Chain A
Amino acid sequence: GNSVTQMEGPVTLSEEAFLTINCTYTATGYPSLFWYVQYPGEGLQLLLKATKADDKGSNKGFEATYRKETTSFHLEKGSVQVSDSAVYFCALIEGLGETSGSRLTFGEGTQLTVNP
Chain B
Amino acid sequence: DVKVTQSSRYLVKRTGEKVFLECVQDMDHENMFWYRQDPGLGLRLIYFSYDVKMKEKGDIPEGYSVSREKKERFSLILESASTNQTSMYLCASSYQGSWDNQPQHFGDGTRLSIL
Interface residues of chain A, those whose CB is within 8 Å of chain B, are: 31-32, 34, 36, 41-46, 49, 51, 89, 93, 95-96, 99-104, 106-109
Contacts and interface: CB of A to CB of B under 8 A. Distances in A.
Query: Nearest 7 pairs between A and B by C-beta?
Result: A43-B106, A101-B50, A108-B42, A101-B31, A32-B100, A44-B106, A106-B43
B108 A102 contact: no
B12 interface: no
B104 interface: yes
B45 interface: yes
Nearest to B90: A43
B47 to A, nearest CB: 11
Given A43-B109, A44-B104, A107-B42, 8 more contacts: A43-B4, A44-B90, A99-B54, A100-B99, A101-B30, A104-B92, A106-B44, A108-B40
Interface in B9-54: 30-31, 33, 40-45, 48, 50-51, 54
A10 to B, nearest CB: 11
B50 A109 contact: no
Q: Is the interface of B mostly helix, strand, loop or mixed?
A: loop
Nearest to A105: B45
B106 A45 contact: yes
Interface in B80-115: 90, 92, 94, 96, 99-109
Contacts of B40: 108
Nearest to A104: B104
B106 A103 contact: no
A100 B90 contact: no
Contacts of B106: 36, 43-45
B62 interface: no
A102 B99 contact: yes
